[in-house]
Amino acid sequence: MEIRACLKDLIPYTPGVLKEGAIKLASNENPLGVSPKAQQKITECAGNASLYPDGGCVALRKALASKLSLTPENIIVGNGSDEVLIFVAGTLIEPGDNAITSESTFSEYAYATHLYGGIMKYAPMKNGCFQLDEILNRIDINTKIIFLCNPNNPTGTYFNNDTFVKFMNKVPSGVCVVMDEAYIEYATNKDFPPSIELIEKFKNLIVLRTYSKLYGLAGMRVGYGIANNEFIYNLNKARSPFNVNILAQEAATAALSDNDFVNRSLTMNEAGKKYLYNCFDSMGLKYYKTEANFIFVYINQDCKVAFEKLMELGITIRPLKSFGFNDAIRITIGTQEQNEFFINCLKNILV
Q: Torsion-angle region of residue 214: left (phi > 0), alpha (psi -120 to 50) or beta?
A: alpha
* 210 is an interface residue for ligand PLP by CB under 6 A: yes
- The pattern of x and - marking residues 53 through 82 that bind ligand PLP according to CB under 6 A reads ---------------------------xxx
* 187 is an interface residue for ligand PLP by CB under 6 A: no
What are the angstrom distances between the C-alpha of 321 and each of 17, 154, 306? 15, 11, 11
Q: For residues 248 and 242, what is the distance between their CA atoms, to the nearest angstrom?
A: 12
* 218 is an interface residue for ligand PLP by CB under 6 A: yes
Q: For residues 77 and 303, what is the distance between their CA atoms, to the nearest angstrom?
A: 36
Residues between 96 and 135 that touch ligand PLP (CB under 6 A): 106
Q: Torsion-angle region of residue 246: left (phi > 0), alpha (psi -120 to 50) or beta?
A: alpha
Provide, rounded to whole angstroms, the least separation between the CB of residue 28 and ligand PLP. Answer: 6
Q: For residues 234 and 239, what is the distance between their CA atoms, to the nearest angstrom?
A: 10
Nearer to ligand PLP, 211 or 279 (CB): 211
Angle in degrees, CA 298, 300, 302, rounded to 5: 100
- Can the peptide bond before residue 154 be classed as cis, meaning omega within 30 degrees of 0? yes
* 157 is an interface residue for ligand PLP by CB under 6 A: no
Provide, rounded to whole angstroms, the least separation between the CB of residue 154 and ligand PLP. Answer: 8
* 149 is an interface residue for ligand PLP by CB under 6 A: yes
Nearer to ligand PLP, 39 or 102 (CB): 102
* 184 is an interface residue for ligand PLP by CB under 6 A: no
Residue 310: which of 347, 259, 280 has the closest Cα? 347
Size of the site for ligand PLP (CB under 6 A): 13
| Half-sphere exposure at residue 205, Cβ-oriented, CA atoms within 13 angstroms | 22
| Half-sphere exposure at residue 86, Cβ-oriented, CA atoms within 13 angstroms | 14
- Which member of 26, 99, 135, 182 binds ligand PLP (CB under 6 A)? 182
* 212 is an interface residue for ligand PLP by CB under 6 A: yes
- Which member of 31, 118, 156, 223 binds ligand PLP (CB under 6 A)? 223
Provide, rounded to whole angstroms, the least separation between the CB of residue 109 and ligand PLP. Answer: 9
> For binding to ligand PLP (CB under 6 A), which residues are involved?
28, 80-82, 106, 149, 153, 180, 182, 210, 212, 218, 223
